[in-house]
């Protein structure tokens, strides 16, 4: 029996938001919604990039008739989401960068499927890394205009939240709080260890007298490892 349009739309949205939530290894549509909300708070352009990437990659997986369970779990969406946010982080929005997001996101789907079938270890963000390296190498030939990155030099306990925001390359404490709430909704233990990781990394960076710019930029490393 054919599913109602509303059910298909709901399933589609759930797959998309789960794809975004999988950036932090979560399988929760509400978490994904909070993640893209957090990105929007910091950068509308990068939020659009996330949307283009996750929609493209999820659609490609459906067109190629890849396993429905994997699509619904968001396994083909998160690498596309990362492609979208990083392209607009590095380069100014243009027709070329949009095409790179679409093409790059589609390519991550093929790489992900290949790795799922042929590798023992989980692919995680390997497809995104391989594609973004290729785009970065090609960027000079494509004459892509860079974006102007602005980093707040003020440090405080907010640095922990800004570090969590950097999981999806966002330098914004409110964004980090949105991400943390999203992780908490999906997995309280992951949220707890994200905070611990952020506190330890920030404390060590301040002990080593690193600059505020570095503190806010590299706290993410501990958050990524623990989540």
User: How does pLDDT run across 146-166, given as a tens digit for each residue?
Assistant: 886 554 444 445 667 888 888
* Residue 97 CB partners (closer than 8 Å, separation 6+): 87, 88, 91, 144
- Ramachandran sector of residue 210 (left: φ over 0; alpha: ψ -120 to 50; beta: rest): beta
Q: Is the pLDDT of residue 204 over 90?
A: no
Give me Rg for the CA atoms of the chain.
Answer: 18
Quote the CA–CA distance of 58 and 51 in Å, as a whole number.
11
pLDDT tens string 45-70: 999 999 999 999 999 999 999 999 99
Q: Is 70 exposed, middle or buried (0-12, 13-18, 19+ CB in 10 A)?
A: middle
In this predicted model, which residue has the larger pLDDT, 116 or 5?
116
Q: Is the pLDDT of residue 127 over 60?
A: yes
> Residue 146 — φ and ψ, nearest 5°?
-75, 155
Quote the CA–CA distance of 86 and 220 in Å, as a whole number.
15
Quote the CA–CA distance of 125 and 27 in Å, as a whole number.
15
pTM recorded for the entire structure: 0.86
Neighbours of 75 (CB within 10 A): 26
> Residue 135 — φ and ψ, nearest 5°?
-65, -40
CA angle 10, 28, 63 (to 5 degrees): 50
Residue with tokens 């109602």: 4
Quote the CA–CA distance of 45 and 77 in Å, as a whole number.
18
Mean pLDDT for the chain overall: 87
């Amino acid at each position: 029996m054919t599913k109602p349009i509303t059910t298909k739309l709901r399933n589609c949205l759930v797959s998309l938001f789960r794809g975004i939530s999988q950036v932090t290894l979560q399988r929760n549509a509400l978490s994904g919604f909070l993640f893209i909300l957090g990105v929007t708070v910091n950068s509308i352009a990068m939020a659009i990039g996330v949307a283009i990437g996750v929609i493209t990659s999820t659609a490609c997986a459906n067109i190629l008739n890849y396993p429905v369970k994997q699509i619904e779990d968001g396994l083909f969406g998160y690498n596309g989401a990362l492609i979208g946010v990083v392209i607009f982080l590095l380069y100014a929005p243009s027709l070329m960068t949009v095409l790179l997001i679409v093409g790059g996101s589609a390519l991550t789907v093929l790489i992900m499927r290949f790795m799922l079938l042929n590798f023992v270890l989980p692919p995680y963000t390997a497809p995104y890394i391989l594609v973004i390296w290729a785009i970065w190498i090609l960027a000079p030939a494509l004459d892509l205009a860079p974006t102007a990155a602005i980093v707040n030099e003020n440090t405080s306990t907010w640095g922990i939240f800004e570090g969590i925001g950097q999981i999806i390359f966002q330098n914004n404490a409110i964004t980090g709080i949105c991400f943390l709430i999203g992780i908490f909704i999906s997995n309280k233990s992951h949220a707890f260890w994200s905070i611990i990781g952020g506190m330890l990394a920030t404390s060590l960076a301040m002990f080593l007298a690193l600059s505020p710019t570095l503190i806010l930029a590299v706290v993410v490393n501990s958050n990524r490892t623990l989540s």
